[in-house]
Amino acid sequence: MIWKIFARLPSKWNDAEDYARECYQAGIIAIGWNKLGDLNATESFAELRGKLKEGWGGEAESGAKTIGQWAGTLWSFRNKVKAGDYVICPDSDSGRYYVGIINSDSVFYDETTLGGKCNFAHRRKVKWVRVLNLGEIQSIWPGGRFGGNQTLSEVEKGAERFMKFLKKKRSAFVPRSRVSSHPDMEWGKEAEARAMVWLGERGYQPTNVAHLNVGWDITCGNSRFEVKGRKSPRSAVRLSQNEWRAAKKFKREYTVLIFTAPTKEALQMTTPMQIPDPTRTESWTPRVMYEYILAE
């Protein structure tokens, strides 16, 4: 079975956050409604619905209908999801889709925060196996839409194509339908500053070498980091020829860090998407630029 599971707060909330990457990095999939306590202690769908009504009755916009859908999500998460099932978890911060295989036989309850802020307590262990970009998703589901909008839903349409896609080996070029971008100087600088802090927090001793034009921005011993900042996942990440060459040369020692945040304040809190050895682990579309000069 294939499940689509969102690990995020509702987008209609103004401070909605996406925890997909935290889950990915922690080897977990997690959903909210913490106040319910351990789901293993809940015996039936009806009991679950009752507890939800008690705890969230006021927030449920459409009463019984909403409660019912929440109950369905949690009940499926507890009962219908099985070890070996596939999970697809969309990440709105990076515009990517994490694909994994459920690795624990039952749900467990854990309120400790993952890497960043995610404290969604209903969890299952996941072995994440792939990261797909929009182009790859669209090659499976034209239009990029699959599964439902609820926190958890089963993916039915295109399930066979998805399985076939996973078996096929990674193709070199997957077209991406998104606009290309010029690097934004100011955001580049902001992102670099954030990267320095973030690396420092993780125990590195980073040196900023961006001004040297070597093909990456930050050096920590043998590790080289290229930092990209963007305001939304809709704008593409572009590697210059210089950067590409360095990435090819240093392979695993070269990592691209992508910071996606709409405002400077948000950027200070953002954890980056990390792409080690980018020329091998991701699909890039080469772009050739021409210019025309009028002959004298």
Partner DNA sequence: AATCGATTCCGGGGCGTGGG
Partner DNA sequence: CCCACGCCCCGGAATCGATT
Contact 17, 9 (CB under 8 A): yes
Helix (H) or strand (E) holding 245: helix 241-250
**Burial label, 294 (beta-carbon count in 10 A; 0-12, 13-18, 19+):** exposed
Q: How far is the CB of 283 from DNA (least distance, A)?
A: 16
Q: How far is the CB of 74 from DNA (least distance, A)?
A: 8
Q: How far is the CB of 46 from DNA (least distance, A)?
A: 9
Helix (H) or strand (E) holding 67: helix 64-75
150/223 with CB nearer DNA: 150
Task: Spell 45-58 as b/e; 16+ CB within 10 A means b.
Answer: beebbebbbeeeee
36/199 with CB nearer DNA: 36
Helices (H), 76-120: none
234/251 with CB nearer DNA: 234
Q: How far is the CB of 139 from DNA (least distance, A)?
A: 12
Helix (H) or strand (E) holding 280: helix 278-281
54/221 with CB nearer DNA: 54
Q: How far is the CB of 149 from DNA (least distance, A)?
A: 3
41/179 with CB nearer DNA: 179
Q: What is the CA radius of gyration of the chain?
A: 21
123/224 with CB nearer DNA: 123
Helix (H) or strand (E) holding 136: helix 134-140
Q: How far is the CB of 6 from DNA (least distance, A)?
A: 4
Give dist(CA 214, CA 19) in Å, integer: 34
Residues at the site binding DNA, with contacts judged by CB under 7 A: 6-12, 16, 31-33, 49, 61-62, 64-73, 75-76, 90, 92, 120, 134, 137, 143-151, 153-157, 177, 179-182, 184, 187, 230-232, 234-235, 262
62/205 with CB nearer DNA: 62
**Beta strands 96-102 and 207-208, pairing class:** unpaired
Neighbours of 162 (CB within 10 A): 19
Q: How far is the CB of 116 from DNA (least distance, A)?
A: 15
Query: Which one, of 129, 103, 114, lies nearest residue 21 by Cα?
Result: 114
